Structure 1
């Protein structure tokens, strides 16, 4: 068996399909989902509970940054307001008006918000969950939508309790959680996630992401994991693992493009696929300047702001272009040979793209691990 046939078999096997044609179709769907899938997250609750602050924290923005959701102790949202993720514009967090206000009664709230456009709801309270939130959750349930409860401003509660001689952090958190759940019994004792928007890594944010990830369809998981901020090594490794599992798909898509007998097309498309994949990794791993600055402030290490990682993408682009360009002529010549030639062109591209993606992903992941070590978040 030729090496080309072996590579074609390997590509097909990686897809879980029986033929290379079916493998290509499945791979294209996976990559389309990775690059383009949308996710709409509705954030709601009563006025002043920290809805906008949570949206800003998830997007890696401070409350006074340009493009941040407006925050305040009074109602600042008069209608559903979309906020696109800075590096994942297809992920949108919607700041909904406070439920229970004179303009938005709980009984009519769901209809006015047009909830079918949202993938799931985050219901936030800074104290106990009350009648309005429970009524809202019931209405969401009727429409078979997912929702989760967040108890916000936990850092404020901890600071207040720290003044007591008998303070115990875990007991305090347990008491807050139990107090919230007591009011939610009629909903089946749903979990309550304790969150500090000032520091998402401090409490239950990662548990929230893991729970959401377990409930979403696979293609929606791609959007969630890419957009969630890196709050620990564990979160980073989840992202790395996701990209690892999709390398075969990017490599097969590259192979499918290579089989088209148009000079230069394979090189151009291979490069776009590879660099889009790496750019997604770069932002998902928190290597962009904005993410590094945010991390620097959170862990109080100003030197992290100087860890410029953008040259990594340029280095990967240059090395990938050289390798892919070197194979472009061979791919084109193979593609002119009917049937067997097309398979040869495809397998050349599959093997090369797979290797490039594996090496590039490892480089970016190692850099991200290094950043977390510098931040003291190993």
Structure 2
């Protein structure tokens, strides 16, 4: 079993709360406790501030990172070559409404002052800042970064429109052009100008906002993941668009850390003497599988959206998907069929499970219902990751 399945997104306080519930409370009270914790994890707020000079692409970045296909979709941040944002404007993630990207007023105005700017945009409400520039980073960017640092907030720099620079260099130096060398020069020039301005060791990521999966997107995701608190990291990973293989695998990893809680709910409902709660157990698994399908972009609505965005036939995308949950209506019958296939493996897992999960009390070790559901959820996540990977490769096969 992977050690990644240990639930490190849960704080020690929450772990203790679950342990107390399992050991000292009734079955109904323990179910209520775990349900409440899962709800809190799903609804943790994440507020990301995005700023830069007008025309740098900050609004486009917000639209792309939220999963919008164009800047003209309903609910998109307004874009333009002149400043269109006068007040901090929140844009919620399409799936996770608790994740908000704030489009802040541009910092290139003549009366810009970093300290006043941060006060006006209510800097304390943001988890971190992203500062975007389409060319070089200027004095305004440096002043803002230093002010953010003085207030103990994290900030990251994005050098946007790097695809334009690469194409220009390719045309002017057709014989000696080297893409990776050119990218590294851009990174180093940006970092050097920021260090010269007193920023220290800045995090600089070069991106194409029209092809976000290229260049430094994975590096940016790794950095944010490393520097965010674990509960914020979890919701950030889930909210990222499914545009790289690494993102898909990270989503599988973070979701797998909660499988034991979902499995506990199933086994607890199954152990209840009230027949109605047996149905609730299957419903728990149905709901979580539907959520996971949506997170990996494998639900029908997401597949239609992806096919439209990349000019593909949705049936071509579905042809590379193997999971039965994608092609079949998810109901209690399908859930029970999948659970049945996990029986043999669950007996083996039960013998070794206690050394990997920090809290397993008598409530969830009765019979094999816990282990069956735990294994089924793990298998589903692996299948969904593989299917989403195949879909991603399919939509990008003519675009790379």
Same fold (TM over 0.5): yes
1:267 is matched with which residue?
Answer: 279
Shift of 1:294: 6.2
Instruction: Tell me, yes or no, if the aligned pair for 1:267 and 1:325 is still in contact at 8 Å.
Output: no
TM-score, length of structure 1 as denominator length:
0.80
Instruction: Tell me, yes or no, if the aligned pair for 1:33 and 1:222 is still in contact at 8 Å.
Output: no
2:240 is matched with which residue?
Answer: 228
TM-score, length of structure 2 as denominator length:
0.76
Shift of 1:324: 11
1:68 aligns with 2:48: no
- Aligned CA-pair RMSD: 3.4
1:317 aligns with 2:328: no
Secondary structure, counterpart of 2:84 in structure 1: coil
Secondary structure, counterpart of 1:92 in structure 2: strand
Q: What is the aligned counterpart of 1:177 among 177, 183, 187? A: 187
- How many Å separate the matches in 2 of 1:323 and 1:103? 66
Q: Which moved more, 1:206-215 or 1:248-257?
A: 248-257
Q: Which moved more, 1:363-372 or 1:237-246?
A: 363-372
2:384 is matched with which residue?
Answer: 364
Shift of 1:197: 1.0
User: What are the equivalent positions in structure 2 for 1:89-168 lying under 5 Å apart?
Assistant: 89-102=97-110, 104-164=112-172, 165=174, 166-168=176-178
- How many Å separate the matches in 2 of 1:247 and 1:238? 15
Structure 1 residues 223, 313: closer, same or farther in 2, change over 3 A? Answer: farther
Q: What is the aligned counterpart of 2:363 among 343, 350, 353? A: 343
1:7 is matched with which residue?
Answer: none
- How many Å separate the matches in 1 of 2:291 and 2:268? 21
- Name structure 1 gaps, 5 residues minimum: 1-10, 327-341
Number of residues of Structure 1 aligned to a counterpart in Structure 2:
349
Shift of 1:302: 1.8
Q: Which moved more, 1:286-295 or 1:234-243?
A: 286-295
Instruction: Tell me, yes or no, if the aligned pair for 1:121 and 1:148 is still in contact at 8 Å.
Output: yes
Instruction: Tell me, yes or no, if the aligned pair for 1:44 and 1:122 is still in contact at 8 Å.
Output: yes
1:237 aligns with 2:257: no
Secondary structure, counterpart of 1:184 in structure 2: helix
- How many Å separate the matches in 2 of 1:235 and 1:113? 31
User: What are the equivalent positions in structure 2 for 1:191-206 lying under 5 Å apart?
Assistant: 191-206=203-218
- How many Å separate the matches in 1 of 2:268 and 2:141? 50
Secondary structure, counterpart of 2:183 in structure 1: helix
Shift of 1:102: 5.0
Q: Which moved more, 1:133-142 or 1:281-290?
A: 281-290
Deviations 1:4-49 (A, max 9, x none): xxxxxxx99xx99799744757955762344222211111111111
Secondary structure, counterpart of 1:193 in structure 2: strand
Instruction: Tell me, yes or no, if the aligned pair for 1:100 and 1:106 is still in contact at 8 Å.
Output: no
Instruction: Tell me, yes or no, if the aligned pair for 1:256 and 1:346 is still in contact at 8 Å.
Output: no
Q: Which moved more, 1:41-50 or 1:346-355?
A: 346-355
Shift of 1:283: 2.5
Structure 1 residues 99, 344: closer, same or farther in 2, change over 3 A? Answer: closer
Deviations 1:160-201 (A, max 9, x none): 212113322112111211111111111112121001110111
User: What are the equivalent positions in structure 2 for 1:29-44 lying under 5 Å apart?
Assistant: 31-44=38-51
Q: Which moved more, 1:285-294 or 1:207-216?
A: 285-294
- Name structure 2 gaps, 5 residues minimum: 1-5, 23-29, 341-361
Instruction: Tell me, yes or no, if the aligned pair for 1:289 and 1:305 is still in contact at 8 Å.
Output: no
- How many Å separate the matches in 2 of 1:293 and 1:73? 31
- How many Å separate the matches in 2 of 1:318 and 1:354? 16
Shift of 1:101: 2.0
- How many Å separate the matches in 2 of 1:20 and 1:112? 41
2:60 is matched with which residue?
Answer: 53
1:252 is matched with which residue?
Answer: 264
- How many Å separate the matches in 2 of 1:207 and 1:344? 39
Secondary structure, counterpart of 1:176 in structure 2: helix
Instruction: Tell me, yes or no, if the aligned pair for 2:46 and 2:232 is still in contact at 8 Å.
Output: yes
Q: Which moved more, 1:361-370 or 1:147-156?
A: 361-370
